Structure 1
Amino acid sequence: MRNISDLIEEYLKATIKKSGDDLLEIKRSEIAKKFQCVPSQINYVIQTRFTVEKGYLVESKRGGGGYIRIIKISPHDHVDLFDQMIDIIGQKVDQNTAENIIIRLYEEQAVTKREATLMISAVDRMHYQANVSHRDEVRANILKAMLKTLKYKEA
Structure 2
Amino acid sequence: MENQNISDIIESYLKQILAESQQVEIRRAEIADQFNVVPSQINYVIKTRFTIQDGYVVESKRGGGGYIRIEKVKLLDNLDFIDSLVSAVGDHITRHDGLAVVRSLFEAGTINRREANIILAAIEKDAVHTGDRQTSERVRAQILVSILNHLRYES
* TM-score (norm. length: structure 1): 0.79
Task: Give, as a single letter, the amino acid of the residue that structure 2 aligns with 1:9.
Answer: E
> Aligned residue pairs: how many?
151
The CA deviation string for residues 18-48 of structure 1, in whole angstroms up to 9 with x for no partner, is 2x2x221101121112222221111101001
Q: CA RMSD in A?
A: 2.7
Q: Is the 8 A contact 2:105 2:111 kept in 1?
A: yes
Deviates more, 1:119-128 or 1:5-14: 119-128
Identity over aligned residues, as a percent? 41
Q: What is the deviation of 1:73?
A: 2.2
Q: Is the 8 A contact 1:98 1:123 kept in 2?
A: yes
State the alpha-carbon separation in 2 of the partners of residues 57 and 123 from structure 1. 24
Q: What is the deviation of 1:85?
A: 4.0
Q: What is the deviation of 1:76?
A: 4.1
State the alpha-carbon separation in 2 of the partners of residues 104 and 48 from structure 1. 14
Mind listing any 5+ residue stretches in structure 2 that lack a counterpart?
none
Q: What is the deviation of 1:106?
A: 0.8
2:107 corresponds to? 107
Change (3 A) 1:29 1:37: same
Q: What is the deviation of 1:147?
A: 4.6
1:57 corresponds to? 57
Q: Is the 8 A contact 1:102 1:119 kept in 2?
A: yes
* TM-score (norm. length: structure 2): 0.79
Change (3 A) 1:95 1:24: same
Classify the secondary structure of the residue corresponding to 2:60: strand
Mind listing any 5+ residue stretches in structure 1 that lack a counterpart?
none
The CA deviation string for residues 82-128 of structure 1, in whole angstroms up to 9 with x for no partner, is 66644543332222221111010011011222332332233233441
2:131 corresponds to? 130
State the alpha-carbon separation in 1 of the partners of residues 114 and 36 from structure 2. 40
State the alpha-carbon separation in 2 of the partners of residues 148 and 16 from structure 1. 28
Deviates more, 1:95-104 or 1:111-120: 111-120
Q: What is the deviation of 1:68?
A: 1.1
Change (3 A) 1:148 1:61: closer
